């Protein structure tokens, strides 16, 4: 499910505008990265601070979704703390992870 880049509301695949705030829906590009568990938290922090990321999905070696982080415009500081704690647990359980990054064009 895609999310609005402006307000974070859930969108349908064929929506042209956000039903909550009216912002135009832009194309979403998916990128998949492989990282070791040691670098997982640092890589996710880097991605969140880039600013053009709308969602981050962390998967284990078998492709199962371990964590999904909706990264809206206002996600900073204290809001990130619970997500990063969960990433620490995932890093302790997995050896290699895949990060699926959704970016707006």
Tens digits of per-residue pLDDT, 20-79? 888 887 777 888 988 887 788 788 878 877 777 878 888 888 888 888 877 664 455 445
pLDDT for the residue numbered 74:
45
Tell me the whole-structure pTM to 2 decimals: 0.65
| CATH architecture designation of domain 28-104 | 2-Layer Sandwich (3.30)
Query: What's the CA gap between 94 and 8, in Å, rounded?
Result: 29
Question: Which residues sit opposite 99 in a β-bridge?
Answer: 33, 58
pLDDT for the residue numbered 12:
83
Nearest CA to 57 out of 48, 49, 66 is that of 66
């Amino acid at each position: 499910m895609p999310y609005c880049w402006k307000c974070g509301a859930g969108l349908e695949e064929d929506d042209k505008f956000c039903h909550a705030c009216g912002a135009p829906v832009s194309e979403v590009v998916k990128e998949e990265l492989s990282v070791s568990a040691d670098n997982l938290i640092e890589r996710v922090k880097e991605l969140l601070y880039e600013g053009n990321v709308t969602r981050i999905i962390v998967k284990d070696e078998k492709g199962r979704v371990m964590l999904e982080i909706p990264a809206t415009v206002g996600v900073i500081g204290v809001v990130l703390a619970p997500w990063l704690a969960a990433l620490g647990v995932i890093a302790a359980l997995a050896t290699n992870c895949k990060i699926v990054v959704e970016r707006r064009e």
